[in-house]
Amino acid sequence: DTGVSQDPRHKITKRGQNVTFRCDPISEHNRLYWYRQTLGQGPEFLTYFQNEAQLEKSRLLSDRFSAERPKGSFSTLEIQRTEQGDSAMYLCASSLPGQGFGEQFFGPGTRLTVL
């Protein structure tokens, strides 16, 4: 399977714990995005990487959220001191470099439940 993969697919944690999610983009894609989606809402932009550089981050993202893409390949999203409001589907997407915005290919997501 050469699509975007995310790990884990499901995570249940207790409030106050830290969690980390991983995203492996399609291999030749240098652009990587993180989104959060809750039931009945569209994906909400969190952050964007081009290669290893984090070029944009949502103003809505609290300091508890951090993302990295150290070698320009896979990316991790960490949430510290989780809160119940963090419960959501966390989606990763990647796209090819080049002219135009380009199609974003989404992974299957990591569903986070904070108890």
Partner 1 sequence: RKEVEQDPGPFNVPEGATVAFNCTYSNSASQSFFWYRQDCRKEPKLLMSVYSSGNEDGRFTAQLNRASQYISLLIRDSKLSDSATYLCVVNERTNAGKSTFGDGTTLTVKP
Kindly list the residues in this chain that would bind partner 1 in the complex (CB under 8 A).
Answer: 31, 33, 35, 40-45, 48, 50, 55-56, 58, 91, 95, 99-104, 106-109
Dist CA 105 CA 30 (whole Å): 12
Residue number, 82 or 94, with CB nearest to partner 1: 94
CB 3 within 8 A of CB 109: no
In 10-63, which residue ranges form alpha helices assigned H by DSSP?
none
Backbone angles phi, psi at 111, to 5 degrees: -90, 120
Shortest distance, position 61 Cβ to partner 1, whole Å: 12
Residue number, 25 or 109, with CB nearest to partner 1: 109
Shortest distance, position 106 Cβ to partner 1, whole Å: 4
